[in-house]
Amino acid sequence: MRFTPTTLAGALSAVALIGVAGMAQADYPEEPITYVIPFDPGGESDVTARFQEPHLEEILGVSVNVTHRPGGGGAVAWSEFQNDAEPDGYEIIGVNIPHIIGQPIQREDAGFETDDWEIITFFHSTPNALIVPADSPFETLDDLVEYARENPEAVTLGGSGTYSANHLGALRLEREADIDITYIPFTGTGPLPAAIEGGHVSGIFNYTMLGVQMEDRARVLAVAAEERVPALPDAPTFKEQGYDIVGGAYRGVAAPTGTPDEVIEVLEEAFAEANREIASEQEPLGFVMEYITGDEVNEVMNMLREAYGPILEEAE
């Protein structure tokens, strides 16, 4: 190939641009990162982000600013993120499953798509837990089920969002126990302690972390896990009590679609290291630490699609 001065200059310019782009990605991150939590402060996503924040800052060498955009059980922030966030790694967002699976199926106005982002990792899971006030007349799960059978829709259970892990867990309880309850969605876990302590609901279908936090003020009737959770050794599972209900939420973090692979890898490694650092703080709160990346993300997503598919179809 013969190079003229013009073609040679063009080739050198192209090489220079590739080099600059490579340097930019290699130097990532160079500015603060915004870490969006799509729920109220005080819930599981927020607690975890606060644990992660100082470790991520040390690992990445830049500020990591945790912000909150609650609404729609996460849908408000997820919609804004998929429509507006730049694919440069400087804005990331907490994602929960089955929330991001169920909401687009059930709500035409969800504003986001299940697969329209780059999942960096799922870093922990929490089983659902059925929690009632300490002075509740329901001392056991059988008490609540029996009352609900005799009084359809009279039992009110609060939870985080619609078509979330909490909502789907409540729907599973209805199906397994052949009862009708009234599910009341809240913007996240944060408002639920006040709701249960104020007597605004009969109980809450939330997560094990809240059961641990409210251990002296509430009673955990059942946990949706295969085995008892070490942080709640006295709380029986649904399975122990004759109901085949196992499930909860996986939480992780995502970047916009189109974010360079090199950036995703940097964030993957940073969250993995932060996860190792905070495990001793999270496990006593009822969290189950996970490290799910790459192809495993799709495997977990497909597993939960299959598990919750029949319930979502019934709810349509």
Give the residue numbers spanning the domain of 191: 127-241
pLDDT at 123: 96
Are 164 and 311 found together in one domain? no
pLDDT tens digits for range 255-311: 999 999 999 999 999 999 999 999 999 999 989 899 999 999 999 888 888 877 777
Q: Are 149 and 117 in contact (CB under 8 A)?
A: no
The CATH number for 98's domain is 3.40.190.150
| pLDDT number for residue 163 | 87
Q: Given this model, what pLDDT does residue 26 score?
A: 63
pLDDT tens, residue by residue, 136-161? 999 999 999 999 999 999 999 999 98
- Asked if residue 264 and residue 163 are part of one domain, the reply reads no
Here the CATH number for the domain that contains residue 192 is 3.40.190.10
Digit-coded pLDDT (tens) for 184-226: 999 889 999 999 999 999 999 999 999 999 999 999 999 999 9
Write the burial class of residue 247 (CB in 10 Å: 0-12 exposed, 13-18 middle, 19+ buried).
Answer: buried
Same domain? For 234 and 309 the reply is: no
pLDDT tens for 230-249 read 999 999 999 999 999 998 99
Same domain? For 118 and 252 the reply is yes
pLDDT digit string (tens) for 45-83? 999 999 999 999 999 999 999 999 999 889 999 999 999
**DSSP states of 158-204:** EEESSSSHHHHHHHHHHHHHT---EEEEESSSTTHHHHHHTTSSSEE
Distance CA 275, CA 295 (A): 19
User: Residue 236: inside a domain, yes or no?
Assistant: yes
Number of domains the chain is built from: 2
The pLDDT of residue 9 is 45
**252 & 121 share domain:** yes
Are 112 and 78 spatial neighbours (Cβ–Cβ below 8 Å)? Answer: yes
For residue 94, tell me if it sits in a domain: yes
Query: Both tokens of residue 192?
Result: 């639920």
